[in-house]
């Protein structure tokens, strides 16, 4: 990633450069990339770091498991709504103001959670927190997509997420330890402090990248971007210049300029693209497996099997290690093998994971719960950076809208799954692998229906 340093000049240009497109430089400065890594870590830490406290919340606030686990569901609902609104806002007004706004809202929500006296106040605080945290989910990868071509962006997202996963790897363990030794309120106080720090950092150092979405792209990405991803009626075209660079036509250029991102039919336009639609379904199914596990695993581990919150957090580290390993593979191979081949390879551990989950469903040992999920996490870490990058490449001028819409679809499926699992799981442990199986089927359906992944034709070759 030596080209990261090449973007230093662009990163200091908040309004976007006015130089010719074929003279634009690809990449971001290292400090800005590290800032994005830190911001990206806030989302998963906030989502799963508080889950070991579910049993403590049940006791302290005198509520049921189905109600207590709504801290996850409400968080996802808020993220679902916010990604639609803020994704389009990032395409209209720029990445930086939306990032600062979201982080500030996240800080306020964390403070509300830390002083909540009952379950209703806690859920209200989680909604505010989730609304703000949505920018940590989709904006960093959108900024990366602004600065790099699709396959290079997938590689950078993979490396970025690899570093980002260090925090979520220890998040549940730290959350469990805080719950067992102090009090669950202290988790939210810590998150409020983290939110305040990153709000200030983003306000002081974050640079606008919306103007970089039209930068010159290397000739190595022409075949994978111009042909399979932008195919279809009304698709964005890319012209090859004499220097071998690729110039995307139809990008908005600067924040606030009129363009396709301001069209109220932008999301409908994206959904009409078979390439985007299939990738969004694949993304929803893949991440749905993870959401199902987050909703059901605390109950199976702590309520059914008597595991302490701190022990649950330690075992959850297996999931983080699996995702970390998958990201290492994505960061190493995505630029060389291409996004769609990496997606096909990622389906293999996903299929192995669901088989292992059913085979081990009769065991009460923690390995039976966390090892199959590690396979799923490895699959997601390997393929999701490529799915995300490819989805944002269908129409590059709508990258923020595409990221927000795809994220909202996956979050919407997560909302339904967490609601259902929270209320049916007490009636039988097998509801968890059943829900995860449905998500796997959705993911494979998305892959099979994609005109770009070509699952069967690749297998024949």
Q: At 371, is the pLDDT very low, low, confident or very high (cuts 50, 70, 90)?
A: very high
pLDDT digits (tens, 9 = 90+) for 434-452: 989 999 999 999 889 888 7
CA distances from 106 to 100, 127, 139, 163, 281 (A): 10, 9, 14, 22, 28
Look at residue 222 in the predicted model and tell me its pLDDT: 22
Q: Which residue has the higher pLDDT, 130 or 22?
A: 130
Look at residue 168 in the predicted model and tell me its pLDDT: 61
| Nearest alpha carbon to residue 199 among 103, 108, 129 | 103
What are the backbone dihedrals phi and psi of residue 248, each rounded to the nearest 5 degrees, phi first?
Answer: -85, 135
- 3 state SS of 310: helix
CA distances from 419 to 59, 69, 292, 296, 365 (A): 20, 8, 10, 10, 26
Q: Which residue has the higher pLDDT, 221 or 367?
A: 367
Q: Residues 151, 335: contact at Cβ < 8 Å?
A: yes
Instruction: Tell me how crowded residue 457 is: count the other CB atoms within 10 A of its CB.
Output: 8
Tell me: pLDDT of 129 over 90.
yes
Angle at 86 between CA 265 and CA 53, to 5 degrees: 135
Token couple for 40: 């990206």
Look at residue 155 in the predicted model and tell me its pLDDT: 66
What is the Cα–Cα distance from 438 to 160, expressed in whole angstroms?
Answer: 30
pLDDT digits (tens, 9 = 90+) for 58-112: 888 888 877 888 888 888 888 878 877 887 788 788 888 899 999 999 999 999 9
Query: What does R_g of the chain's alpha carbons equal in angstroms?
Result: 21
Tell me: pLDDT of 314 over 80.
yes
| Nearest alpha carbon to residue 327 among 410, 385, 392 | 385
Residue 240 DSSP class: E
| Nearest alpha carbon to residue 334 among 324, 322, 343 | 343
State the average pLDDT over residues 350-373: 90
Look at residue 158 in the predicted model and tell me its pLDDT: 64
Per the prediction, the chain carries an average pLDDT of: 75
Q: Where in the chain is the domain with CATH 1.20.1250.20?
A: 2-213+263-460
| Nearest alpha carbon to residue 144 among 154, 135, 136 | 154
Beta-strand relationship, 246-248 and 238-240: antiparallel
State the average pLDDT over residues 345-352: 91
Beta-bridged to residue 417, according to DSSP, are none
- 3 state SS of 118: coil
pTM: 0.65
Look at residue 121 in the predicted model and tell me its pLDDT: 93
Q: Which of 14-23, 221-230, 249-258, 373-382 has the highest mean pLDDT?
A: 373-382
Instruction: Tell me how crowded residue 265 is: count the other CB atoms within 10 A of its CB.
Output: 10
| 204: CB partners within 8 A, 6+ apart | none
What is the Cα–Cα distance from 372 to 116, expressed in whole angstroms?
Answer: 36
Look at residue 251 in the predicted model and tell me its pLDDT: 38
Burial class (CB in 10 A: 0-12, 13-18, 19+), 12: exposed
CATH of 2-213+263-460, one of 2.40.400.10, 3.40.50.970, 1.10.10.60, 1.20.1250.20: 1.20.1250.20
Tell me: pLDDT of 240 over 70.
no
């Amino acid at each position: 990633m030596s080209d990261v340093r090449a973007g230093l000049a662009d990163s200091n240009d908040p309004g976007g450069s006015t130089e010719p497109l074929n003279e634009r430089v690809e990449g971001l400065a290292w400090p800005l990339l590290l800032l994005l890594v830190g911001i990206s870590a806030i989302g998963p830490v906030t989502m799963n770091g508080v889950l070991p406290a579910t049993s403590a919340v049940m006791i302290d606030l005198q509520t049921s498991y189905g109600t207590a686990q709504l801290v996850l569901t409400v968080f996802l609902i808020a993220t679902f709504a916010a990604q639609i609104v803020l994704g389009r806002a990032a395409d209209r007004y720029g990445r930086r103001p939306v990032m600062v706004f979201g982080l500030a809202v996240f800080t306020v929500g964390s403070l509300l959670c830390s002083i909540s006296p009952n379950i209703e106040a806690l859920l209200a605080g989680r909604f505010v927190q989730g609304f703000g945290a949505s920018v940590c989910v989709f904006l960093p990868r959108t900024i990366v997509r602004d600065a790099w071509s699709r396959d290079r962006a997938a590689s950078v997202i993979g490396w970025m997420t690899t570093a980002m996963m260090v925090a979520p790897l220890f998040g549940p363990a730290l959350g469990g330890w805080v719950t067992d030794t102090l009090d669950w309120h202290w988790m939210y106080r810590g998150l409020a402090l983290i939110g305040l720090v990153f709000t200030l950092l983003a306000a002081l150092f974050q640079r606008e990248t919306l103007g970089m979405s039209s930068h010159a792209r290397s000739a190595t990405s022409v075949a994978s971007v111009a042909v399979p991803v932008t195919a279809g009626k009304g698709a964005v075209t890319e012209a090859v210049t004499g220097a071998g660079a690729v110039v995307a036509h139809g990008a908005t250029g600067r924040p606030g300029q009129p363009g396709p991102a301001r069209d109220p039919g932008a999301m409908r336009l994206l959904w009409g693209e078979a390439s985007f639609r299939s990738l969004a379904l694949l993304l929803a199914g893949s991440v749905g497996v993870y959401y199902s596990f987050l909703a059901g695993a605390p109950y199976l581990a702590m309520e059914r099997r008597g595991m302490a919150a701190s022990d649950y957090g330690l075992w959850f580290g297996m999931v983080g290690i699996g995702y970390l390993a998958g990201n290492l593979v994505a960061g190493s191979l995505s630029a060389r093998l291409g996004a769609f081949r990496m997606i096909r390879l990622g389906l293999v551990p996903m299929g192995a994971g669901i088989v292992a989950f059913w085979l081990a469903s009769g065991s009460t040992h923690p390995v039976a719960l966390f090892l199959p999920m590690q396979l799923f996490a490895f699959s997601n870490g390997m393929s999701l950076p490529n799915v995300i990058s490819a989805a944002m490449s269908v129409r590059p001028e709508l990258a923020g809208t595409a990221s927000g819409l795809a994220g909202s679809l996956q979050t919407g499926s997560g909302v339904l799954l967490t609601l259902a699992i929270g209320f049916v799981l007490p009636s039988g442990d097998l509801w968890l692998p059943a829900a995860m199986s449905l998500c796997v089927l959705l993911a494979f359906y998305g892959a099979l229906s994609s005109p770009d992944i070509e699952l069967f034709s690749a297998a024949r070759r």
